Amino acid sequence: MNAMKVDLGIWDKLTRLVLFLLFIAGLLLVGVWYLPLIRTNERMRKQIVLLDAQTQKAEENRKQLLSSIQTLGSDQKAMERLIRERLGYAKTGETVIRFEVPSTPRAGTTPTNPSTKPVPQRP
């Protein structure tokens, strides 16, 4: 038998349009459903990159400290220099002189700069 095609007119077109719109709505629903998960994933990936950078810096610091420990354990002169610099120790008969640069000028004092001349004040 031959299949009969019945022309439904506008109803066939509307049915296809509704099915297409339902498909698009389903895709949007899935997208909205997973959007928070996608954002959380992106945030965690950024945090992983940051933590990896911190881990690399810590590893470099660890290597430097291990090198310093090995140097100080085997080299007496390095140990003596470190003690003198950090703790201010001196051998018997030596005098320790420390030079410190003030970080800010004290109140009531004017900075001395040989290139500037004092401004005369009028009476």
Q: 52 in a domain, yes or no?
A: yes
Average pLDDT over residues 49-66: 97
pTM: 0.47
Q: 80 in a domain, yes or no?
A: no
Q: 103 in a domain, yes or no?
A: no
Q: 85 in a domain, yes or no?
A: no
Q: Which domain holds residue 48?
A: 11-73
Give 12-43 pLDDT, tens digit per residue.
Answer: 889 999 999 999 999 999 989 999 999 999 99
In the numeric block, the tokens 């992106």 are attached to: 42
Identify the CA nearest to 72 among candidates 60, 86, 93: 86
Q: Residues 18, 25: contact at Cβ < 8 Å?
A: no
**Total domain count, the chain:** 1
